[in-house]
Amino acid sequence: RKLLLLLGALTFLFVLMAFAALWPLQDVFEDLDHINNEVRVLLEDSNTLNSSIGAVEVELYRLHASGKRHLDDLIDVIEVMRQTARDIGVHYVMKEPKIKSDYDRFMTHLGLFENHVGALATTQDSRIAAHHNSESLKVAAALRADILTITRFAQKHGQEEQKAMTDHFRWLVICI
């Protein structure tokens, strides 16, 4: 009878310890999923911006070559860029002091880009249109550089968070 009580108590303690060990591990797994998903979304948004800039550049070169001024598609792509840029801006990684100034510079360049494309859409003078087309292409190059900086920071930040979480996981396993 004493043996059964002892084995029952040991079994209960073993189950309790297993549960206590799994609880912190679940938090680690949730954090790892969070890190992977957040960085993936940020990188997808950055890729969307890069693709959008490429589409705008193609349209600007077409406008320059043909002289036609049909800009509806171009304006639609810029609106997608603006919304994607806002989505990136609310991401917690963009609140980091190291990247905040780069994101602000990106948003400034995006505003300049929109202004030049808007002027391109409304001007009737071909010389002024050519100037705004050229300036739009220059700002597009600056936007690409800004996005590259943001993307690299996001990747590095995700790797650092993942490494910290993995180290935490290792210590949990060792302690268990």
Q: Are 102 and 153 in contact (CB under 8 A)?
A: yes
Reduced to 3 states (helix: H, G, I; strand: E, B; else coil), residue 74 is helix
What predicted TM-score, i.e. pTM, was given to this entire model?
A: 0.74
pLDDT digits (tens, 9 = 90+) for 113-135: 989 988 887 878 888 888 988 89
Residue 88: closest CA among 134, 33, 44, 23: 44
pLDDT tier at 111, thresholds 50, 70, 90: very high
